[in-house]
């Protein structure tokens, strides 16, 4: 096996997918930045959740809003739902075992808040339940998914934003999600701080 050729192929595939995503997602990402910033300026908060492997990215994004990204600024109101292990533990009284995120959203979410949900799969029951709960609380929803995320799209409204990576490969989806989250952090900081360039 030629490992150098295989590594080169991974880089090339990642670059192709990233450039394709730029064409499709630049405007929706800008819309997501504006939506989140408007909520934060109106004393809203961002609740972030991620299914399985995406939970780490959800925690990182919430931490970057609270602690800062690349520019010095005050802390922003964000909370990673997957960070609270005690509320994620199964409860014998829970009516639905797929509902740990939705229960937190119903407890913490308010009209005008944002739910940002990440999933590499389009049929995650936890994420679908979270979306339903956020709609009950009149929250805006931003979902990051992969190309098989059409199942998720069925649960979104015209007010919501779906940032769908144009690939079904989990590695490429996760790479794009991280880049999108960095774009969100950077754009939010620039809008809040009045950065022009």
Cβ proximity of 143 and 167 under 8 Å: no
Q: What is the mean pLDDT of the chain?
A: 91
pLDDT for 97 equals: 55
Distance, C-alpha 40 to centroid of its chain: 16
Confidence of residue 51 (pLDDT cuts 50, 70, 90): confident
Minimum mean pLDDT range among 43-52, 83-92, 131-140, 163-172: 83-92
Percent of the chain with pLDDT over 70: 92
Rounded CA gap, 176 and 173, in Å? 5
Number of domains in the chain: 1
- Distance, in Å, from the CA atom of 157 to the CA atom of 83, rounded to the nearest integer, reads 27
CA distance 74 to 66: 8
Q: Is the pTM of this model over 0.85?
A: yes
139 occurs within a structural domain: yes
In a domain? residue 3: no
> What is the average per-residue pLDDT within 51-76?
93
pLDDT digits (tens, 9 = 90+) for 101-147: 999 999 999 999 999 999 998 778 999 999 999 999 999 999 999 98
- At residue 190, the pLDDT reads 95
Angstrom distances, CA of residue 99 to CA of 53, 67, 83, 187: 17, 28, 15, 31
| Mean pLDDT, residues 4-16 | 97
Looking up residue 122, the CATH number of its domain turns out to be 3.40.50.10490
pLDDT (0 to 100) of residue 151: 83
Residue 153's domain comprises: 35-89+96-192
pLDDT (0 to 100) of residue 86: 46
Does residue 80 lie in a domain region? yes
**Tens digit of each residue's pLDDT (9 = 90 or more) over 66-96:** 999 999 999 999 999 976 554 444 555 555 5
- Largest separation between any pair of C-alpha atoms in the chain: 56
State how far the Cα of 89 lies from the Cα of 148, in Å rounded to an integer: 28
Domain-located, residue 19: no
185 lies in a domain? yes
Reduced to 3 states (helix: H, G, I; strand: E, B; else coil), residue 144 is strand
Instruction: Kindly state whether residue 28 falls inside one of the protein's structural domains.
Output: no
In this model, does residue 20 exceed pLDDT 90? yes
């Amino acid at each position: 096996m030629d490992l150098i050729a295989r590594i080169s192929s991974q880089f090339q595939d990642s670059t192709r997918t990233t450039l394709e995503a730029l064409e499709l997602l630049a405007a929706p990402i800008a819309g997501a930045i504006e939506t989140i910033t408007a909520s934060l300026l109106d004393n809203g908060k961002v609740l972030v959740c991620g299914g399985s492997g995406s939970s780490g990215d959800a925690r990182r994004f919430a931490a970057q809003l609270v602690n800062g990204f690349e520019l010095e600024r005050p802390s922003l109101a964000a909370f990673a739902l997957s960070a609270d292990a005690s509320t994620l533990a199964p409860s014998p009284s829970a009516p639905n075992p797929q509902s740990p995120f939705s229960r937190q959203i119903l407890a913490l979410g308010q009209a005008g808040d944002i739910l940002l949900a990440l999933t590499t799969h389009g049929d995650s029951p936890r994420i679908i339940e979270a979306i339903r709960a956020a709609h009950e609380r009149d929250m805006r929803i931003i979902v990051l998914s992969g190309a098989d995320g059409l199942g998720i799209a069925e649960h979104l409204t015209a007010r919501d934003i779906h940032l769908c990576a144009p690939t079904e490969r989990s590695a490429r989806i996760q790479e794009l999600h991280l880049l999108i989250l960095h774009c969100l952090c950077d754009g939010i900081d620039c809008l809040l701080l009045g950065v022009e360039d």
